[in-house]
Amino acid sequence: MSKTSEGAQPVGLTIVLADWCPHCVPLSEEKGRELGGRLGIPVRRLDIDDRAEEREADALVQAYGDWSPDYLIPQVFLQWSDGRVDHVLTGFPEGVSRTRRAWDELLRSDWVQHLAAARKA
């Protein structure tokens, strides 16, 4: 994988979700796998209904995401080789179609296109 201009490479994608959430399953799992495939990185899921995963998800969202005690899901994070974490998406309460549009906009963004091209270089 080629490095970005900052010298760091994407190394992982984490999706904080719940199985009962229609914004999460299957939508965000499918779109997350698509993004991970484009970037050549693994995708992991943290289910807020699993006690051990919930603690890790809460810490990730509190440190890098859109935190509140009853935070919105899904939330998506990109991990970098230099230890950075970027929050790249939060689901929208307006409806699944709005969350789908946010995923589509992210996948079409110049930023993702640049990262995917750098990976292939």
CB 30 within 8 A of CB 22: no
CB 118 within 8 A of CB 53: no
Whether residue 5 is predicted with pLDDT greater than 80 in this model: the reply is no
Q: What structural domains does the chain harbor?
A: 10-120 (3.40.30.10)
Q: Which amino acid is at 56?
A: E
71-108 burial, b at 16+ Cβ within 10 Å, e below that, comes to bbbbbbbbbbeeeeeebbbbbeeeeeeebbebbeeeee
Instruction: Give the global pTM.
Output: 0.93
The predicted structure's pLDDT at residue 1: 37
Task: Please write the tens of the pLDDT for every residue from 9-57.
Answer: 999 999 999 999 999 999 999 999 999 999 999 999 999 999 999 999 9
